[in-house]
Every structure is written in C-alpha cells, then in structure tokens.
Chain A
Amino acid sequence: MKNSSHLSDEALQSYLLKEIQDDSLIVEHLEACSKCQKRLEEYQVVIKNVQKIEPEGFTFDVSALVMNTVTVYEKRKSRRQEFAFWGVLILLVLGISFFSLPFLPAVFKLFFSGSGLITLLAIGVGLGVFLFLLTDIIRQNQVKEGKIFKNNLQPMS
C-alpha cells in the first residue's frame, strides 16, 4: 500500500501481470477508487505498449560472423595440435638418438661381427616397424582432416 487509502504501485503492477493469486481485495478497491483505477490504466498503457516494441536485430549476419570465428578457431586449434604432435615426435626422436649414441658402437659391432643374415634381419624388422608406424600416422591424419575440413566446414546451404 502506498498509504492507508490507495494501492501501491507494486500491487498495481503485480495485479496487471497476474502475479497475485488472490486479487479480490485489489479488485474491490479498484471498483471503488477512481484514482487507483487511473493509475492502473497508466500502467496498462506502459505494459501493453512495451510488449508492442519490435525487438531490434543487428544489421550484420550474426551466424556468418560467429561461424567464421569458430572455423578460424578450430583451424588454429588443429594447426596447434599438429605442431605439438610433430614437436613431440621430433623431440622424442632426438632424445632417443641422443641417449642411444653411447650404445651405437656396440650395435655396429654386433652387425659387423655377425653373419649377413642377422644384419639383413635386423634391418628388415626396423624398416617394417618404421613403415607400419608411418602408414598408421598418415592414415590417422587423413581421417582427422576428412572429419574436420571436408564434412563440417563447408558453408551452410
């Protein structure tokens, strides 16, 4: 209540927005009080016309702008992951090479002291493992590229 004889603005708004379950007292007061009736009408004008306002949109295409940003982000992320993968691989190879240096003379000694068959077997196994890993890496990379770039990053129809 605004004062003892009139309805408060809060009560009027709540009544208009049907937020009050039992509004019999408000209805009763409104029927008897022209001043509150007038104030209610003023709020009616506000609420009715606010709802009529057309929401403004942007002059640019939000979807195109956002999808472009997301695509660029995804490409960058993919490139970063690729760099990280090759970086780790190179570091791993260099690390293994560095730590295997002291053992190289012993390995060479094994090849040159043994028969030609053992040498061929060792080279063959090494080459086989290398080719298997290389093929797997290439295949995985192709699947990943296909998934990300060929199917998903085409413009929306």
Chain B
Amino acid sequence: MNNESDHLSDKFIVANVLNGKIQDFALIVKGTEKLVTQIVKKMVFDEDDQKDLLQDIYLKAYQNLASFQFKSKLSTWVGNIAYNTTINHLQKKKIPIYDLETASGNASKETENPEVEAIQTEAVDILTVEIANLPPLYQTLITLYHLEELTNKEIAQITNLPEGTIKSYLFRARQILKEKINQHYKRNDEK
C-alpha cells in the first residue's frame, strides 16, 4: 500500500514537473536527497567536487525525467544516476573503488594514532572510522543496506551490480569490520 502510494505520488510529481511546474522538482530533490547524499558523501570527500556532482546528478535527472518509466521507485532511479555519475567521477580521477588492500593500509595507519584510539571507546565510533577506511564501493553498500535499509534488489537497481555480487561485497565488508573491531578491543585489553 505504501509502495503504491509512493508510486502514485511519484507519478503526480513527475507529471507536474514535465508540465512546466519546475518548483515541484524540489519535492523530488527533498525525497531523494538523503539517499544521494549517502552515495556521494561516501565516495567523494572534497566539498567542491561534492557540490559539482550534486548539481550534475540532479540536472541529469531533470533533463531525463521524461524518460523515467516508473519501472522502479523514483528514488532508486535518481540513486542510480547518482551512483553512475559518482563512479564516473572516481574513474576519471583514477581513484580505486573496491581496492581492499589500499583500504586496509589506510585503516592501520589511522588507528596507530593514540589520540584517535583514545576517543574510539565506543563501537559506533570505531565502526564509523573503519567504514570510512573501506573502499568507496564497500562504504556505499554498507550505508545503503544498513543505514538506508534498502533491499539487495534495490541496491542492485542503483548500482547495476548483480545481487550476488552485492551480497558478497557486503559479506566481505562486515567481515573486515568485525576483524577491525576485534583488533581494536584486543589492543585495548593488552594495555
């Protein structure tokens, strides 16, 4: 029922925008802002780049709104544009998107700082730092699954990756996070 009403409301908003009510596009932005923010923010860290990407993503969505066929939720469609645009941006800058070796290297460097370690007493804090050290794609998948509470199917529609691949990346990401949190607590116990 909720999905159906979402679908109807999507249709109504899209029809309004296509009929020239440009102001209604702000409703699309409001409805998808959280998801797009998670995708962009987890993969791109420079604020100017983030702003450029957001403008690029929503302009693409605005220009291609007429081609949206309601086969998925509007938010999933915008999420897909956000994901593809962000991945293209990373590829242009030659930033690896799922290189785990680089990520684990970063992680150990980060946790060697005693000040940072002292602050990270809570599991949530440790995980926030460790997720940030994961490769961009893993960060995005963890965020979409656990924070945005999207299903594997919805994530597959956004990322154009097979559901099996998403499951496998998520599995590996959780495994790394578990190892990192264990390492952290072991170090604290040894002190």
Task: Give the interface of A toward B (CB within 8 A).
Answer: 9-10, 13, 42-43, 45-47, 49-53, 55-60, 62-63, 65-67, 69-71, 73-74, 147-148, 151-154, 156
Contact = CB atoms under 8 A, between A and B. Distances in A.
Nearest to B41: A56
Nearest to B20: A147
Given A10-B171, A65-B55, A152-B21, 8 more contacts: A43-B178, A50-B131, A52-B124, A62-B54, A63-B29, A70-B25, A73-B59, A151-B21
A60 B51 contact: yes
Interface of B: 20-23, 25-26, 29-30, 33-34, 36-38, 41, 47, 50-51, 54-55, 58-59, 62-63, 123-124, 127-128, 131, 142-143, 146-148, 171, 174-175, 177-178, 181-182
Given A70-B58, A148-B20, A57 B25 contact: no
Contacts of B47: 59-60
Nearest to A42: B178
5 contacts: A53-B128, A53-B146, A56-B37, A66-B26, A151-B21
A148 B19 CA distance: 10
Would you list the 10 A-B pairs with minimal beta carbon distance, nearest first? A49-B123, A66-B58, A152-B22, A69-B55, A50-B146, A49-B124, A63-B29, A46-B177, A66-B29, A46-B178
B58 A69 contact: yes
Contacts of B131: 50, 53
A76 to B, nearest CB: 11
A43 B22 contact: no
Contacts of A51: 146-147
A73 B41 CA distance: 25
A-side interface mostly: helix
A67 B29 contact: yes
A47 B147 CA distance: 10
A40 B59 CA distance: 45
A147 B20 CA distance: 7
Contacts of B38: 55
B120 to A, nearest CB: 12
A42 B182 contact: yes
Contact of B23 (A42, A45, A66, A156): A156
Contact of B50 (A58, A69, A148, A156): A58
Nearest to B123: A49
A154 B181 CA distance: 51
Contacts of B26: 63, 66-67, 156
B177 A65 contact: no
Contacts of B147: 50-51, 53, 55
Contact of A62 (B29, B142, B148): B29
B181 A42 contact: yes
A70 B178 contact: no
A33 B49 CA distance: 50
A100 B128 CA distance: 77
